[in-house]
Amino acid sequence: MVADTTIATCRAGQLELRIWANRRAVTRIDLIPSRPDNGSVTAYRNKDNGDITTEYKDNTATPAALAVRQLDEYFSGARRVFDFPIELYGTPFRLRVWRALTTIGYGEIMSYGELARRIGQPKAARAVGGAAHNNPVPIAVPCHRLVGSDGSLTGFACGTDTKAYLLRLEAETAAMQG
């Protein structure tokens, strides 16, 4: 168990996000489909002492607060790249896939097979899909940008409706911003 775990919850469009962080970095982001909303922080809690506040978005002192602010900016179309600290734990293969996912640009898509080729494992498209499915920090490590070889929305741990929503958000924002 990580000491001083912080859980932040925010709503963005049709998603509720739960951001898990320790004192150093964000360790997990859960995406939970919910009813549409304009997007706002609803809770912030230190797991050790149970304190809850909703007035923390401007506090950049914690990784969770920084992540919430940047995710808020992402959902409003003002952010394309994240720089809040992230700690990833996984096999060497998964870590390689997760690093490669961060090279797929905002509003772009790539097939699982193409990412497998990019990491030097051309026959590992299914394994890439498995690594993407187990990505602990979706959106920040953009596994939603992976598609089938025919461009279809295949597989996503948070559901293909959520994947479609994120891709549509990015495509619309990119089109408006040029």
Read off the pLDDT of residues 101-121 as tens digits, 9 standing for 90 and up: 999 999 999 999 999 999 999
Mean pLDDT (whole number) for 141-156: 93
Residue 45: what pLDDT?
A: 44
User: What are the Cα distances from residue 67, in Å, to 55, 70, 138?
Assistant: 14, 5, 12
Distance CA 44, CA 51 (A): 8
Confidence of residue 176 (pLDDT cuts 50, 70, 90): confident
Q: 6-15, 20-29, 46-55: which has the minimum mean pLDDT? A: 46-55
Return the C-alpha torsion angle 113, 117, 122, 123, nearest 10.
-30
Query: d(Cα 144, Cα 31) in Å, to the nearest integer?
Result: 12
Q: Is 158 a catalytic residue?
A: no
Range among 14-18, 35-39, 45-49, 56-60 rated most confident = 14-18
Query: If you average pLDDT over every residue of the chain, what do you get?
Result: 83
Among candidate residues 143, 147, 167, 169, the one labeled active-site is 143
For each of the domains in the chain, give its residue range(s) and CATH number, in order of start: 6-75 (no CATH), 92-177 (1.10.10.10)
Residue 86 has pLDDT above 70, yes or no: yes
**Confidence check: pLDDT of 27 > 60:** yes
Element (H, E) at 65: helix 63-75
pLDDT at 177: 80
Question: What's the CA gap between 132 and 50, in Å, rounded?
Answer: 32
Three-state DSSP at 172 gives helix
Which tokens go with 66? 């920084």
Looking at residue 13, its pLDDT comes to 66
Helices then strands, counting H and E runs in the chain, come out as 5, 4
Q: Is 13 left (phi over 0), alpha (psi -120 to 50) or beta?
A: left
